[in-house]
Structure 1
Amino acid sequence: MFLAWGKSRTCIFNAASVSLLGEDYEKALGQPIHHLWAGLWSEIGTFFDEALKGNSGLVEDLEVPVCESGYFVRRWVTFSYSPVREDGKVVGVLCICSDRTDKVLLSRQIEQERNSLYEVFEKAPGFVAMTSGPEHRFTLANASYRKIVGGRNVLGRTVAEALPEIVKQGFIEVLDNVFRSGEPFVAHGIPIRLLNPTGSEEDRYIDILYAPRFGKNGRIMGIFCEGHDVTEHVKADKMTRVLQSELIHASRFTTMGNMAATLAHEINQPLAAISNFTAAALRFLADEKLGNAAAALKEIDANTHRAGRTIRSLRTMVSKKAGTIEVFELGRILADALALARLASPSASVASNVDPSIAVAGDRVQIEQVLLNLLRNAFEAVDGYQTPRIEINAYCDSNAIVITVADNGPGIQCQPIDSVFDSFVTTKAEGLGLGLFISRTIILAHGGRLWAENLSNGGARFNLRLPLVADRKLS
């Protein structure tokens, strides 16, 4: 507390004011107050003049230099001033002060941290926004957020007012649920239609997080929104899948092309047999040997079905109709793939131990393509061997469907062995080196695993694991 008394404004103060006067406070007692605070008088003198006129007032957070240990430091005070009267006349000014230095410094620190945080939000590569209240009124939106919404100024407006095009897209309901339940919402690559700067609607894809913001009382006060525009990534991913599908389809054609001569021979055999049995049947009918004619017709029917099976297998393998997920019998597609693959080495001994009731969930065409590739590689590996042998196993364990294809050929020469699955790695003179690479790509896309190993007694084994389906066996 300070008292400026009389015409000379003599300074009188109490002990609580010492901290504001500094280390020379003893010299201040009895001095005119305008001498004591000469450096500040241009700012505070008018207040004393007002008090001498009989007026009162309040001055908040005034910066005051104070000498401490020979150095001036800054302190902040808030003081009230009021006139002191004697016999009805104003004879002095009473100032009641409070040191606000700690609170001012804390307030400035909080403001600085708030500004720093705002700058971080503003420059963040992802979009950031905050809303308050159940109506979701924007209180913050950084540069990335303003950019994705077409440069619109959303501050102070509700989400529905600022972005009317998303009202019917379900986002308001999501915000309502987060505000009501307190549970965050996370989504990846979800589509959203937004107005661009030209005013036309544009389809985008975003990763987004909505998280509740809680007040001091523990109640939800608003929602924090953070996310990224992943439109280009989603488009690139879709294009990659299209190209991958084209590559897989081209690989099937390449496989069939490489087997063209063998397949032609396989089809010509039943066709030649049909021709011979047809001629024989005609002769038997002319000679009225009906029993012999009936036997010839049965052979024609059997060879017709044999050729038909081969053609159907070919049509399935070169079909571009891929991407259909279904549950199908493993044994059937394994038998079809084996029938095509063994044409490479018809003399090879095949031991097959396949549970016919195993069900697989996936793309039937692509899974058969993988099996054909593995079996064909095995038959080609043993071609020319004195006692060629192929062993096929398919069973269910507690975690997956397991399929193995083993041969007694020369084994895998690549080092490390896993590099056999790299693209453009081949040991065949006319191979592209894409078969195993594409096979692993297909299996990975089905949530499975494909790997190879050399056997201790010679040869190689390819191992394939696929996820179990809910009903892993067909009824």
Structure 2
Amino acid sequence: YNDAWAPIPADKHPWALGRPAHEVWADIWPTVGPQFTQVIETGQGFAAYDQFLPMERGGQPRETWWTYAFTPLTDEQDRTLGILNQGHETTLKVLQDRARVDEVQRMRELFAQAPGAVALLAGPTHVFTMVNDAYSALAGNVRLLGLTVAEAMPEVVRQGFVDLLDGVFRTGLPYRGISTPVFLRGAKGELVEHSLDFVYQPILDAAGRTTDILVQISDQTGRDHALRQLRDADRRKDVFIATLAHELRNPLAPIRNGLQILKQANFSDARFERTRQMMERQLGHLVHLVDDLLDVSRITSGKVQLQYRRVPLADAVARAVESTHAAFEQKAQRLGVDVGDEALAVDGDPERLTQVFANLLSNAAKFTGEGGNVELSLFQ
């Protein structure tokens, strides 16, 4: 063998010179021995590419890989007299290729196990080359691999997302979307609105050119829906408390006036009984309002439990006039009430109907000038 071949036997050189191949290559003879025999018996050459050979080096078996050829050397009668061996070690290349394969497999595992939806898009047309289960589920479990985004998910084209991908690929700059409304195909093909946080991250080569785009998506639909519900509940709470605070003021004035009358009136006076009844009604109304204010579940839901019954509207108006009478007296205003048909009635909560009429009258007194006239009429 020549000097270029000498590193192959390594520490067996120069001991290997002049010795039989099965002695020199005892460690790999189970593999190469039959190959030598095949060439000798058939007279046909043999080639191996990236062949695994567990060779001993430094007294220890090592993983080595080789590309080599056995060429028969024949005489005039085509009898094989010897074999020419040419080859080189490919261990480094094989191990590097294996590392790349392992790296790709590891990336696929990372994709598959990623907590969010992840996809890799190749080239300027954005072809799906890798997707995880979360992304497939988000896309409606349609076919993705090997298709462009426009082909696999046509519903996102008219929503402008392919244009965004084009911009990222062209500029090499990432794009981030927060709580972005997106309509995607559902399991039955229907369009379903989602709220998505997403990133389009360009992947650049050594020259700084975009080759791929990594897409990472987090579906925040549930979170954003809960936030909207929370904001709505908070808004309803504010409106409810503001309304309740306004209504709490209405019963206080007649109670205060009633107390003034009680100080001045003879207890045998009929006014005493009427005033006492009025105060009792207003106190009952005030108790209902306080109960509403303390009931947290009603406040957060924006609902108040109604006690339905048949309510004569004339009665509800009378209680409302009674509770707001002081406001009109204070500004020397005249309040005219025409209840029309006394039998006019509706199904409702008497306390709430009284609140409605009392609020109307209170606002009328508030926004009517001194000495003005306010008219309230009921008709069907």
TM-score, normalised by the number of residues in structure 2: 0.63
| Residue identity in the other structure for 1:28 | A
Q: In 2 relative to 1, CA 93–14 (structure 1 residues): closer, same or farther, beyond 3 Å?
A: same
- 1:108 Cα deviation (Å)? 1.7
| Residue identity in the other structure for 2:328 | L
Q: Match of 2:367?
A: 308
Q: Which has the higher contact order (CA 8 A, sep 6+)?
A: 2
**SS of equivalent to 2:8:** helix
Q: Choose from 152, 157, 174 the match for 1:162.
A: 152
- 1:87 Cα deviation (Å)? 4.6
| Residue identity in the other structure for 1:244 | D
- 1:16 Cα deviation (Å)? 3.8
Q: Choose from 149, 153, 165 the match for 2:143.
A: 153
* 1:56-93 C-alpha deviation (Å, 9 max, x unpaired): 45311112222233321111111133233455744322
Measured in 1, the distance between the counterparts of 2:201 and 2:33 equals 53
Measured in 2, the distance between the counterparts of 1:78 and 1:165 equals 52
| Residue identity in the other structure for 1:104 | V
Structure 2 regions of 5+ residues with no counterpart? Answer: 258-322, 336-362, 370-380
Contact 1:34 1:41 in 2 (8 A): yes
| Residue identity in the other structure for 1:308 | F
Contact 1:20 1:66 in 2 (8 A): no
Contact 1:267 1:307 in 2 (8 A): no
Contact 1:22 1:66 in 2 (8 A): no
Contact 2:250 2:324 in 1 (8 A): no
Measured in 2, the distance between the counterparts of 1:182 and 1:132 equals 13
- 1:276 Cα deviation (Å)? 7.8
* 1:125-182 C-alpha deviation (Å, 9 max, x unpaired): 1111011111111111011111111222311111111112222221111111111222
Measured in 1, the distance between the counterparts of 2:133 and 2:8 equals 45
* 1:283-329 C-alpha deviation (Å, 9 max, x unpaired): xxxxxxxxxxxxxxxxxxxxx9973179xxxxxxxxxxxxxxxxxxx
Q: Match of 2:65?
A: 76
Asked if residue 106 in structure 1 is aligned to residue 93 in structure 2, the reply is no
Q: In 2 relative to 1, CA 257–82 (structure 1 residues): closer, same or farther, beyond 3 Å?
A: same
Measured in 2, the distance between the counterparts of 1:308 and 1:262 equals 20
- 1:250 Cα deviation (Å)? 1.5
Larger mean CA deviation between 217-226 and 49-58 belongs to 49-58
Q: Choose from 172, 190, 197 the match for 2:180.
A: 190
| Residue identity in the other structure for 1:145 | Y
Measured in 2, the distance between the counterparts of 1:173 and 1:67 equals 59
Q: Match of 1:95?
A: 85
Q: Choose from 26, 35, 53 the match for 1:64.
A: 53
Count of aligned positions: 273
1:357-376 mapped onto 2 (5 Å cutoff)? none
Q: In 2 relative to 1, CA 305–118 (structure 1 residues): closer, same or farther, beyond 3 Å?
A: closer
Measured in 2, the distance between the counterparts of 1:192 and 1:23 equals 67
Q: In 2 relative to 1, CA 191–277 (structure 1 residues): closer, same or farther, beyond 3 Å?
A: closer
| Residue identity in the other structure for 2:55 | V
Q: Match of 1:31?
A: 19
Q: Match of 1:244?
A: 234
- 1:196 Cα deviation (Å)? 2.3
- 1:221 Cα deviation (Å)? 1.4
Measured in 2, the distance between the counterparts of 1:14 and 1:111 equals 36
Q: Match of 1:272?
A: 329
Bigger Rg, structure 1 or 2: 2
Q: In 2 relative to 1, CA 217–46 (structure 1 residues): closer, same or farther, beyond 3 Å?
A: farther
**SS of equivalent to 2:101:** helix
- 1:43 Cα deviation (Å)? 3.6
Identity of aligned residues (%): 27
Contact 1:23 1:67 in 2 (8 A): no
**SS of equivalent to 1:23:** helix
1:5-24 mapped onto 2 (5 Å cutoff)? 13-24=1-12
Contact 1:84 1:91 in 2 (8 A): yes
**SS of equivalent to 1:125:** coil
- 1:263 Cα deviation (Å)? 6.7
Contact 2:65 2:94 in 1 (8 A): yes
Asked if residue 201 in structure 1 is aligned to residue 199 in structure 2, the reply is no
1:435-474 mapped onto 2 (5 Å cutoff)? none
Q: Match of 2:216?
A: 226
Structure 1 regions of 5+ residues with no counterpart? Answer: 1-12, 279-303, 311-475
Measured in 2, the distance between the counterparts of 1:92 and 1:276 equals 130
Larger mean CA deviation between 40-49 and 131-140 belongs to 40-49
TM-score, normalised by the number of residues in structure 1: 0.51
Q: Match of 1:138?
A: 128
Measured in 1, the distance between the counterparts of 2:330 and 2:134 equals 73
Measured in 2, the distance between the counterparts of 1:153 and 1:252 equals 54
